[in-house]
Structure 1
Amino acid sequence: MRTGIFIVLLILTAGFPGLQGYAQNSRFADNIDDTTRINKLNSLAGNFLKQNQYDSCLKYASQALTITENLIRSKSVINNPAYLKQSKYHKIKSLIFVAECVSVSNPLKATDTLLSALKLVKETGNKNQEAEIYAGIGEIYTMLAQDQPSLVNNLRSLAILRETGNKKGLAWQLTIVGLNHRNMGNYGDAMEYFLESLKVSREISDSLTIIEALLAIGFTYGYVEKWKDALNYQQQALKIYQQMNDSLGIARIYNDMGVTNMRAGNLGVALKQHQEALSIRLKSPEHYYTFASYLYIGNIYEKLNRLPEAIANYEAGLRYIKFSKYLVSGIDAQLNLGIVYMKSSDYQKALNAFSSVLELSLKIKDRTSEAQAYLYIAKVWLAQGEPLRALTWLRKAEKAAPESAIVFLGDTYQSIAETYFKLGDYKNAYINLKKYDGVKDSIIVSENLEKITTLSNRLEFENRQALESENYKKNLAINQAEIKRGKITRNFSLFGMFVAVILAVIAFVRFIEKKKPNSRLNDTLSDLKSTQAQLIQSEKMASLGELTAGIAHEIQNPLNFVNNFSEVNKELIGEMKDELAVGNWQLAKEISIDIEQNLEKINHHGKRADAIVKGMLQHSRTSSGVKEPTDINALADEYLRLAYHGLRAKDKSFNATIKTDFDETIGKIDIIPQDIGRVILNLITNAFYVVDERKKQQPEGYEPTVTVSSKAVLPPPTGGGTRGVQISVKDNGPGIPQKVLDKIFQPFFTTKPTGQGTGLGLSLAYDIIKAHGGELKVETKVDLGSVFMFHLPIQQNTK
């Protein structure tokens, strides 16, 4: 499903006839005015875009853009507001065409181009266009697999569409936001948006948006392996396409159902459905989805180990991919084809396929695919008994592989070790085997975490579905009760003579039942208290989750030192034995000194790892409620670094300058360290979030900065001691609007997108500081940033 920019183009290019005739002679007569030229050039660009001829589209859109920019700078246009507005409208169209044509080959340029268009749209005041451009920017981030900035822009688009009342645009965008959440694993949030999209679509009776919502819901059920429900929604979409007599739409559903059945293990059914889709697509002029059908069929044949059929379909599909700008799809197809060729021992064709993967990867600067190409080329040479040639490519694979691709790195190190072993270089074989062992545990952890995340997302989705089902049953019961009550009321009117008696009976029954609501209220209060406790515990565990990646990063460093110095000591001990054997006591003594120093370093870093683990356990355990002497500077510094590295581990694009300014005269103070730690962590993660969001909106000339400081001060009025301490977390984010400031410490209030915040963090922080006899407050200035600070009293007996 293409959305975002493409929706804009469908709107903007509608109603332009006779475009191909102009393409044959783009030199328009001199007497045609500039506006007509711009219209025709933009029309040509739109036509070529629909035909996937991106170079031609870019050529004519760029020409239109040049004429428009000259026009806007002319005095006659500047002095005519109506004509100026119209000229800006034409420029917006040209900019959008340019962005669409380069969105894959140069996504950065596409984003900058759309931002230029957005600036013009805001000048013209066209809210619907503004929403569409935000959606277009969101689509580019989706293509780059950057889900968070994609969601941010799509939510902006959604907010504008809600404001304008554009129901069709709203229905589309609700589905897009749902897809963002689904990509991020938030299946419950995704389903809420999809269901709202389906509701809005049915209200306006728009078949296409109904279909998109149905298919999105179906695939979400597929993600949680509810295959029957997934196929049910896909069948509903199929019926609509059949009523519309839309053959390509029918083919699309056959492909979608084929994917569902393939994932469910029904390979025979899936193969038949993809073949039915392909038979329809071969009769149409479109190419990309014909390629996709061939690729699906090839995948199934490969799973069935019918390799000749798999090769035939992969090769057939590749004849169509050249018509698409989605080069990454070509990478997947060539990679699959190369692997099947290897299984068939056709090594020359395998090399050709992997070389094509490398060429395409370098073209779109995809480092992961580039590294995969190097690795598989090496495996081809290994399979042919050419370890020296293989080693050259394996070194390239190791260099190109992203640090986060630990599974790939493990495969690479293992292949390098195997290659050195075949070359008789046992030392390097051993070294790379050790490297493989080093990442093997990380691979296992990563796979387990992925399984846990998948299961957690599935459980969250099923719980939400169960809750919604329960609410539905309750609402149904209420509606039925109201219907019955209505019937009783009508019957009363027929038996007026019994009104007094019936009212008396009702009064008696209400008197007898009076205690039941009180009982239900008590049960409800108990449930609310239980829910509150669960929410608080969820918030605590969420904060632990924020630390997990940072802890993994922090603990890896000392462990690396321990491992490295242990290896060095092992070698040094061997050298020392050799020197002692020949009577070289002096050199042996010098070596022993090096060994001793290394042991001290091992001990130091071991204690560092131990401290990190203890800190994590202390944070995760239930608070004892007992205050203990704590170095609050060390506590703040620890959480600052863990939070920073945790965010970096989750989002490699995140970066911020961190500063500290701690008052060393404070010493240890009596606090509950788990609770105060949660407060500090919440303030720091909030600060990182706002500066990162501002960086995404203001990429040039802005340096995200978070500063954590402490100082000894007089206690706040609420404090009971003679001295106090103040901890401050300062950011240079956008600041906090007054309407948000008024609610910022209220429970469940959050400005973060759905699924990213419980709204309990600052509320719990406020309560924790208050329980310590302190005060939490915030100072903010719009566009300059905010400072959250809390005061804690220092008791007289504090050491």
Structure 2
Amino acid sequence: MKSPRAILLLLLLALSTGTALAQSRAADSLRRLLNTARRPDTTRVRRLHALVTELAATDAPQALRLGREALGLARQLRDTAGIGRGLLWLSILHRREARYDSARYYTLLARQLFARRHDRRREAKACLELSLIDQLQSNPASALAWALRGLPLAEQSQDLAVQTQLRSTIGGIYSQIGDYPSALAMLQQALRDGRRLGDQQVVAATLSNLASTYQMQKKWPQALYYFQRAVQASQRMGDVKNETTNEIGLAEVYGQQGDHTQALEHGYRARTLVRTNQDEYNLPAVQLMLARSFLLTQRPDSAVALARQALQLSQRTRSNGNIGNAADVLAQAYAALGNYRAAYEHQRLYADYQDTLAGEATQRKTSALRYGYELGKKQNQIALLNKTRQLQAQRGARQRQQLYGLLAGLVGALLVAALLWRNVYNKQRANRDLNEKNEQIARQRDDLTRALTGLREAQTRLIQREKMASLGELTAGIAHEIQNPLNFVNNFSEVSVELVEEFMDGPWQRLPEAEKAYATELLDSLTQNLQKITHHGHRADSIVKGMLQHSHASTGERVLTDLNALVAEHLPLAYQSFRAKNKDFNATLTPDFDSRVQQVNLVPQDIGRVLINLFNNAFYALQQRQLTGPADYVPELVVHTKRQRNQVQIRVQDNGIGMDEEIQQKVFQPFFTTKPTGEGTGLGLSLSYDIVVKGHGGTLSVASQPGQGTEVVISLPV
């Protein structure tokens, strides 16, 4: 079964809905204007963009050429509005040609421009375009991130049209990842808003997404109903591409119900539309739909031929959705033909595609994105409460001014004192009610602020835990994959050394004296080579074990911890561990703990891992200077803890070899190390940075002078 029809959203930004004849007349008129008025000004830029709009659906190469000309002229004139429109149009045209890298490049430039100009409406359109590009490449997490980033921008600019397009896109993504209740709610709202706006493109795309959502749930009557309405809407607009896509959807639903006659009828209709309009975009989908029909009618050979063509076309255009569907069809067809090896290979390709949509990592990312969107709503509620309080404060100020006027009138109007006293009493009561309301609003605001702070902390922990888990899984997977072949290398090298020794004790003795010298030389070289293989194999084995140690994930639960005790526990532990590998190394350890540093809320396993990494790096720097420094050099490591206003600090100082400025700028990058090959993985400081900064909201900094030493400072919030 196909994924929900994100393909239809490809046409959401199409600006042309007239007939082909009207488009041709408009295009001819614009060409005449451009040929007669050649002055390079902003008017020419807008006319070029209008001609691009007319030609986008009928002459893509010409539209691309004119779009580049318009962008170049807009940049020459420094026409920022024209630059933004030009970038967005080039992105749309490249996306329609399945050139997604170029499309993403132009859209990112457009979004940056709109963000600098604080143009929220067009920035929301750029986010929509980026979401469509990622959705077409079956990257639902990134597509959802861009859509949820664009929706608040569209809401702030009160652009209902872009809001509706984004909701239709978000609904399609929810359906794609299997969240059908959320998808249906979002798509129904988009359908209502699209009809109210009279936006037939959005209505047609949303109808198709609703049909696909019901198809994924195997609710065939609803799927057929919405696909048929989507076909009718596409025919009314003259939108052949969407009509083709919906005909494919009808064929799939009939095929899934077992009605092969109707399935083939709609399938051949879709194929006719593709051939008539030379629609290479929908061609793989038509081939896959017919291949499924052949598969269901026990014709696996025909299914293989069509599915292989579809797979080749999809791989050329990098259409991940069609690649996954083609792999699924080929796996079933090869299995029916008894070619189980090919079936297994294509089944693995299909499983990899499914993992990108429904894997745990994708689910965690999409959940975190929706979580962040809810946080944004909370922030808007707090802003609204603050604004309400300001308005009521202004109203109270006006009431106080009226009260002062009444009091002044009391001096000159003793005859109406009773009436004035009554008015004063009423105003005071109103002020008391107003003060009570202000206090209530302040309490609500404070409660929401605390809730928002808690949600932010939870989101930060969730993201950090996910990152640490992903890094651990990746590292452990790589290490385990390397471990087996590495064990074979070590074992066979040791066995080969023993075989050489046996040869020296046996057959070598029986060789003629003239050949013994040459054989001895060869065997010595072979023995040296095997010893080197064994040495380097053991070095690689230690690296793999180090990677496995880095992959161990912590619980991520923060607890109140005595920070001084934690540092005092890990300092001698790291020192003894380093001396166990370096017998001749000795250093002076100087702890300097601030008694005001007491209980700190942190993850002790993670901070302990950071301390071990920092201490080991310091010991290594001390050892290197001890080997190359003067004879009277005394290695020393000083560890300070200090309590400041809202944070605590851990300062690790050594008088080792130090680092220059260039190395200091790279030390926190993953896999960067200053140690020789085989002595460091380059993961320690990168992992430490993530734990301190992203996991605990602190800071990690380094300061160093070559030949004098290094100081690393950890700052953690209290």
Q: Say whether the fold is shared (TM-score over 0.5).
A: yes
Q: For residue 364 of structure 2, what is the aligned residue in structure 1?
A: 456
With over 3 angstroms needed to count, the CA separation of the structure-2 counterparts of 1:167 and 1:344, relative to structure 1, is: same
Residue 7 of structure 1 contacts residue 132 of structure 1 at CA under 8 Å; is this kept in 2?
A: no
Q: For residue 791 of structure 1, what is the aligned residue in structure 2?
A: 710
Shift of residue 332, structure 1, vs aligned partner: 2.7
In the alignment, the residues of structure 1 paired with residue 308 and residue 709 of structure 2 have an alpha-carbon distance, to the nearest angstrom, of 60
Structure 2 counterparts to residues 196-345 of structure 1, below 5 A: 196-202=153-159, 208-219=161-172, 222=175, 227=180, 230-239=183-192, 241-242=194-195, 250-282=203-235, 285-322=238-275, 327-345=280-298
Are residues 1:675 and 2:610 paired?
yes
- What amino acid is aligned across from residue 58 of structure 2 in structure 1? N
In the alignment, the residues of structure 2 paired with residue 758 and residue 117 of structure 1 have an alpha-carbon distance, to the nearest angstrom, of 45
Q: For residue 58 of structure 2, what is the aligned residue in structure 1?
A: 52
Are residues 1:95 and 2:65 paired?
yes
Shift of residue 345, structure 1, vs aligned partner: 1.0
| Identity rate, percent | 10
Shift of residue 564, structure 1, vs aligned partner: 6.0
In the alignment, the residues of structure 2 paired with residue 243 and residue 220 of structure 1 have an alpha-carbon distance, to the nearest angstrom, of 23
Deviations 1:543-577 (A, max 9, x none): 636734752564155235158669989x99xxx9x
Q: For residue 185 of structure 1, what is the aligned residue in structure 2?
A: 141
Residue 214 of structure 1 contacts residue 234 of structure 1 at CA under 8 Å; is this kept in 2?
A: yes
Shift of residue 258, structure 1, vs aligned partner: 1.6
Residue 704 of structure 2 contacts residue 711 of structure 2 at CA under 8 Å; is this kept in 1?
A: no
Shift of residue 775, structure 1, vs aligned partner: 3.3
Q: For residue 83 of structure 1, what is the aligned residue in structure 2?
A: none
Residue 214 of structure 2 contacts residue 220 of structure 2 at CA under 8 Å; is this kept in 1?
A: yes
Q: RCO (CA 8 Å, sep 6+): is it higher in 1 or 2? A: 2
Residue 347 of structure 1 contacts residue 380 of structure 1 at CA under 8 Å; is this kept in 2?
A: yes
Q: For residue 614 of structure 1, what is the aligned residue in structure 2?
A: 549
With over 3 angstroms needed to count, the CA separation of the structure-2 counterparts of 1:19 and 1:486, relative to structure 1, is: closer
Give me the CA root mean square deviation.
Answer: 6.8
Q: For residue 114 of structure 2, what is the aligned residue in structure 1?
A: 161
In the alignment, the residues of structure 2 paired with residue 43 and residue 474 of structure 1 have an alpha-carbon distance, to the nearest angstrom, of 42
Residue 238 of structure 1 contacts residue 250 of structure 1 at CA under 8 Å; is this kept in 2?
A: yes
With over 3 angstroms needed to count, the CA separation of the structure-2 counterparts of 1:171 and 1:294, relative to structure 1, is: same
- What amino acid is aligned across from residue 468 of structure 2 in structure 1? L
Residue 107 of structure 2 contacts residue 129 of structure 2 at CA under 8 Å; is this kept in 1?
A: yes
> Any idea what SS the aligned residue of 2:239 has?
coil
> Any idea what SS the aligned residue of 1:327 has?
coil
With over 3 angstroms needed to count, the CA separation of the structure-2 counterparts of 1:255 and 1:243, relative to structure 1, is: same
Q: For residue 479 of structure 2, what is the aligned residue in structure 1?
A: 555
With over 3 angstroms needed to count, the CA separation of the structure-2 counterparts of 1:330 and 1:564, relative to structure 1, is: farther
Deviations 1:107-142 (A, max 9, x none): xxxxxxx5x875553222121232234334555776
- What amino acid is aligned across from residue 280 of structure 2 in structure 1? L
Aligned length: 575
With over 3 angstroms needed to count, the CA separation of the structure-2 counterparts of 1:3 and 1:117, relative to structure 1, is: farther
In the alignment, the residues of structure 1 paired with residue 234 and residue 323 of structure 2 have an alpha-carbon distance, to the nearest angstrom, of 32
In the alignment, the residues of structure 2 paired with residue 199 and residue 272 of structure 1 have an alpha-carbon distance, to the nearest angstrom, of 35
With over 3 angstroms needed to count, the CA separation of the structure-2 counterparts of 1:264 and 1:306, relative to structure 1, is: same
> Any idea what SS the aligned residue of 1:725 has?
coil
Gaps of 5+ in 2: 1-8, 404-418, 500-505, 510-522, 579-583, 592-606, 616-622, 641-650, 667-688, 714-718
In the alignment, the residues of structure 2 paired with residue 314 and residue 302 of structure 1 have an alpha-carbon distance, to the nearest angstrom, of 10
Q: For residue 747 of structure 1, what is the aligned residue in structure 2?
A: none
Q: For residue 430 of structure 1, what is the aligned residue in structure 2?
A: none
Residue 468 of structure 2 contacts residue 553 of structure 2 at CA under 8 Å; is this kept in 1?
A: no
Q: For residue 775 of structure 1, what is the aligned residue in structure 2?
A: 703
Residue 342 of structure 1 contacts residue 350 of structure 1 at CA under 8 Å; is this kept in 2?
A: yes
Residue 298 of structure 1 contacts residue 311 of structure 1 at CA under 8 Å; is this kept in 2?
A: yes
Which of 649, 658, 670 aligns to 1:725? It is: 658
Residue 5 of structure 1 contacts residue 136 of structure 1 at CA under 8 Å; is this kept in 2?
A: no
- What amino acid is aligned across from residue 301 of structure 1 in structure 2? Y
The two structures have a TM-score, normalised by structure 2, of: 0.57
Residue 4 of structure 1 contacts residue 139 of structure 1 at CA under 8 Å; is this kept in 2?
A: no
Residue 389 of structure 2 contacts residue 438 of structure 2 at CA under 8 Å; is this kept in 1?
A: no
- What amino acid is aligned across from residue 549 of structure 2 in structure 1? K
Residue 631 of structure 1 contacts residue 669 of structure 1 at CA under 8 Å; is this kept in 2?
A: no
With over 3 angstroms needed to count, the CA separation of the structure-2 counterparts of 1:625 and 1:329, relative to structure 1, is: farther
Gaps of 5+ in 1: 62-92, 98-113, 399-406, 413-439, 577-582, 636-664, 681-709, 734-756, 778-786, 795-799
With over 3 angstroms needed to count, the CA separation of the structure-2 counterparts of 1:244 and 1:531, relative to structure 1, is: closer
- What amino acid is aligned across from residue 340 of structure 1 in structure 2? S
In the alignment, the residues of structure 2 paired with residue 211 and residue 520 of structure 1 have an alpha-carbon distance, to the nearest angstrom, of 32
In the alignment, the residues of structure 2 paired with residue 371 and residue 229 of structure 1 have an alpha-carbon distance, to the nearest angstrom, of 24
Shift of residue 194, structure 1, vs aligned partner: 1.4
With over 3 angstroms needed to count, the CA separation of the structure-2 counterparts of 1:603 and 1:305, relative to structure 1, is: farther
Residue 294 of structure 1 contacts residue 317 of structure 1 at CA under 8 Å; is this kept in 2?
A: yes
Structure 2 counterparts to residues 204-603 of structure 1, below 5 A: 208-219=161-172, 222=175, 227=180, 230-239=183-192, 241-242=194-195, 250-282=203-235, 285-322=238-275, 327-354=280-307, 356-357=309-310, 360=313, 364=317, 380=333, 383-384=336-337, 394=342, 408=346, 410=348, 447=355, 450-464=358-372, 466-468=374-376, 470=378, 497=421, 537=461, 540-541=464-465, 544=468, 547-548=471-472, 551=475, 554-562=478-486
In the alignment, the residues of structure 2 paired with residue 370 and residue 525 of structure 1 have an alpha-carbon distance, to the nearest angstrom, of 47
In the alignment, the residues of structure 1 paired with residue 653 and residue 610 of structure 2 have an alpha-carbon distance, to the nearest angstrom, of 20
In the alignment, the residues of structure 1 paired with residue 180 and residue 301 of structure 2 have an alpha-carbon distance, to the nearest angstrom, of 40
**In terms of mean alpha carbon deviation, does 316-325 or 504-513 score higher?**
504-513
Q: For residue 678 of structure 2, what is the aligned residue in structure 1?
A: none
With over 3 angstroms needed to count, the CA separation of the structure-2 counterparts of 1:123 and 1:168, relative to structure 1, is: same
- What amino acid is aligned across from residue 555 of structure 1 in structure 2? A
Residue 4 of structure 1 contacts residue 135 of structure 1 at CA under 8 Å; is this kept in 2?
A: no
> Any idea what SS the aligned residue of 2:659 has?
strand
Higher radius of gyration, 1 or 2: 2
Q: For residue 413 of structure 2, what is the aligned residue in structure 1?
A: none
With over 3 angstroms needed to count, the CA separation of the structure-2 counterparts of 1:723 and 1:793, relative to structure 1, is: farther
Shift of residue 600, structure 1, vs aligned partner: 9.0
> Any idea what SS the aligned residue of 1:52 has?
coil
Q: For residue 194 of structure 1, what is the aligned residue in structure 2?
A: 151
**In terms of mean alpha carbon deviation, does 334-343 or 142-151 score higher?**
142-151
Shift of residue 229, structure 1, vs aligned partner: 5.3
Residue 205 of structure 2 contacts residue 230 of structure 2 at CA under 8 Å; is this kept in 1?
A: yes
Which of 113, 116, 122 aligns to 2:75? It is: 122
In the alignment, the residues of structure 2 paired with residue 52 and residue 311 of structure 1 have an alpha-carbon distance, to the nearest angstrom, of 29
> Any idea what SS the aligned residue of 1:726 has?
coil
- What amino acid is aligned across from residue 551 of structure 1 in structure 2? T
In the alignment, the residues of structure 1 paired with residue 319 and residue 695 of structure 2 have an alpha-carbon distance, to the nearest angstrom, of 43
Residue 291 of structure 1 contacts residue 320 of structure 1 at CA under 8 Å; is this kept in 2?
A: yes
Shift of residue 726, structure 1, vs aligned partner: 3.0
With over 3 angstroms needed to count, the CA separation of the structure-2 counterparts of 1:133 and 1:488, relative to structure 1, is: closer
